[in-house]
Structure 1
Amino acid sequence: MYYKIKAADSLSKISKKFSIPVDLILSFNKQIKNPDHIYAGQLIFIPNLDDIPDDGKLVKPMKINKLLERAGSATGKKIKYKLGKGGMKPGAPLPASDSNECDCSGFVCWVLGLSRKSDIPFYKQHGGWIYTDSMVADVNSQSGIFEKITIPEEGCIVVYGAGSGIGHVGIVSEVEDGTMIKVIHCSSGNYKKHNDSILETGPDIFNRADSLWGRFALPI
């Protein structure tokens, strides 16, 4: 479950509240660099002890190479593009709907192990839906699941909102000297040109002033 930190909270208080050791909370929340520096409104993940193996080995957040491997596994599958489709079954082998259709938000949600229809508290104000505009709002907030970064890094999302058109989001797959080189994304343009909506391409479509980068700040 996700918990929004309150003004009087400390990790020790949260630990007692949920009967979860502080070390275990920290192991699931790598975004917390200093246990003494947490803030009101910050969203953290509280693990379910039933999900912890008996041998004591902790479930670790998805590493960047695994995230990129998952994103890449959806390329070359001839998935059709359809706005509003895909990303509902994070445990499925591919992000597409039963009709083999997907859009950019559905693809990114699937890569991150999320359903695009979510119970994450931040997204309640967006009807529970994770889509480009709600991801932009998340990146610009301090209480969502993405941490805003100013220099792209491999495995982060790159996103811009709909505005007067259609928004777009993808997974940055290659960075060189602080510059995006490649992005894995699902788009109608990919589908029209290559009959395959999910491809790794250059970043041209994201090279615009309103694009944002966000690091997924919670474990998958």
Structure 2
Amino acid sequence: MADILDEDACVAHPANTLWQPAGPRPILAAPPPDPRRKHPMSTVDDVLARARSAVGHSTLYWLGQGGQDPERARPSSPLPAGKLWPTLPASQRAELEPLAQKLGIDVHDPHLMLDACDCSGYVCWVLGFARHTTPASFTDPGGWIFTDSIWADAMGPGHRFKRLDKARPGALVVYPRKGSGKQYGHVGIVMEADASGRATQVAHCSADNAKSELFDAIQITSAEVFEHNVHSLYAWCQTVR
């Protein structure tokens, strides 16, 4: 797990955009954060139950989606997939269309709406707060909570996310974009840990999950994807008691 804070890892996150190789495109704008809204405390049982409740709904992975409203029954947001489909690069459409066909989804329907989420949106929803809030040490300058801001807070002040030496159920496991070899970082909820403090089961939302036979971006899997990243760390959300 990571030992050194890399300040350059704190980069602006396109939390309200769709990532494409050609650059981000706006999808939605979050409502302004309500400073009067309190972040309710959750129990570990609450966190684990919410994490499990989102599995099995054929959620689509889409960067910047989900986690807008913690009071929704699910973490996902409705995505106008039919309108967005023609804007995707041809290579991405070629990769995704066979998967859509297996799911019986007509991507050429301009009225197609799908439930979509990403890893940060899922985790924020599980923890009981919106991914967009008043700017703080655990957000980017625009107030978005995402993988890099969670990681940086855990490595630094620990105002919302406090670093842990060992995993335990209800904790987060996270790595940042920088050093991952990917376009973005990743975060999940530790569901089970062994006696040595190593996560063995993690609930997370990812594109790779959606490509499995379950065709669901939100799944509970081994921690392998996090163990392969040297910057991964465990953290505890201070709103969980």
Aligned to 2:238: 217
2:199 counterpart of 1:184: no
Aligned to 1:127: 142
2:59 counterpart of 1:79: yes
Identity fraction in percent: 37
Q: Determine the C-alpha separation between the residues in 1 that align with 2:68 and 2:47.
A: 18
Query: Which 4+ stretches in 1 moved above 4 angstroms?
Result: none
Superposed displacement of residue 125, structure 1:
4.6
Q: TM-score, normalised by structure 1?
A: 0.70
Of the candidates 19, 31, 46, which is equivalent to residue 66 of structure 1?
Answer: 46
Pick closer, same or farther for the CA change 1:205–1:141 going to 2, 3 Å.
same
Q: Name the aligned partner's letter for residue 103 of structure 1.
A: D
Q: Name the aligned partner's letter for residue 223 of structure 2.
A: P
SS state at 2:77 partner: coil
Q: Name the aligned partner's letter for residue 197 of structure 1.
A: A
Aligned to 1:93: 73
Q: Determine the C-alpha separation between the residues in 1 that align with 2:135 and 2:48.
A: 23
Superposed displacement of residue 61, structure 1:
2.7
SS state at 1:122 partner: coil
Aligned to 2:216: 196
Q: Name the aligned partner's letter for residue 217 of structure 2.
A: S
2:189 counterpart of 1:168: no
Q: Which runs of 5+ in 2 are unaligned?
A: 1-35, 80-114
2:126 counterpart of 1:111: yes
Contact 2:127–2:240 (CA under 8 A) maintained in structure 1: no
Q: Determine the C-alpha separation between the residues in 2 that align with 1:143 and 1:202.
A: 26
Aligned to 2:154: 139
Contact 1:126–1:134 (CA under 8 A) maintained in structure 2: no
Q: Determine the C-alpha separation between the residues in 2 that align with 1:172 and 1:94.
A: 19
Higher relative contact order (CA 8 A, sep 6+): 2
How many pairs were matched up? Answer: 165
SS state at 1:126 partner: coil
Deviates most, 160-169 or 184-193: 160-169
Question: Pairwise CA RMSD of aligned residues?
Answer: 2.2
Q: Name the aligned partner's letter for residue 151 of structure 1.
A: K
